[in-house]
Amino acid sequence: MTPNLREIAKMIDHSLLHPMMADAEVRDGCLLARRYDVATVCVKPYSVPDAAALLAGSGVGVCAVAGFPHGNSTTAIKVQEAEQAIADGAVEIDVVINIGKALGGQWAYVETELRAVNDACTARGALLKVIFENDYLQVDHIIRLCEISTAVGVAFVKTSTGYGFVKGPDGSYNYRGATDDHLRLMRAHCPASVGIKAAGGVRTLDDLLRVRALGVTRVGATATEAILEEAARRGIA
């Protein structure tokens, strides 16, 4: 069944993470998110206080990233980033796993780190989303990360940062983001209590509806206005 316009909007984390984005653009993005009543704006840590002020009373939350975009910070720093962002007004945190540890099979490290960040979030009333960066991973890695995330009790697992470019043999950089196969895999290996967030490549209303049919409950998008205006043009009430 086609969702209504509010249900579509509340699937969207409006992404304001581009490294070249100036403060005025972040402000405009927050006002756009407020106008369309999306789920959250997803911002860099230093933008959290301004975003929280702009969105106060709106029903649009502030989501901050931690260990972004490559996941290489120490566990202590990721925890501190989460705690500071929540103190500044964030209600959701998107943290990047330690990708090298996952690729090296050091799953105890990965689980300990995610548990520490999740505990910091839940103790402060915030939700944690775990970014896998699937472009760097194989199927067995993704399955194990789903299992760990479930055991830890996180709110969401997320496909990508949007900035995980992979260098090919010819020296060029490519990026896939959220693929249907990976979304099916993540949904199959997470219980209903763990949401699935698709990030990277969800640019149209049809993209959003397609991934929703695969079990996705949240999307990261920069094309928020285009998606919701298209929904309105199609008469979605």
Active-site residue identified among 13, 88, 94, 135: 94
78 tagged catalytic: no
The answer for residues whose C-beta is within 8 angstroms of residue 164's C-beta and 6 or more apart is 69, 133, 134, 135, 136, 175, 200
Both tokens of residue 81?
């980033």
Q: Are 209 and 2 in contact (CB under 8 A)?
A: yes
> Which 3-state string (H, E, C) describes 178-222?
CCHHHHHHHHHCCCCCCEEEEECCCCCHHHHHHHHHCCCCEEEEC
Active-site residue identified among 13, 78, 135, 158: 158
Reduce the DSSP state of residue 41 to 3 states and report it.
Answer: strand
94 tagged catalytic: yes
HSE at residue 28, side-chain half, CA atoms within 13 A, is 7
37 tagged catalytic: no
Active-site residue identified among 13, 88, 129, 197: 197
With residues binned 3-state (H G I as helix, E B as strand, rest as coil), the percentages for the chain, rounded to 5, are 45, 15, 35
β-sheet bridge partners, residue 67: none
Active-site residue list:
94, 158, 197
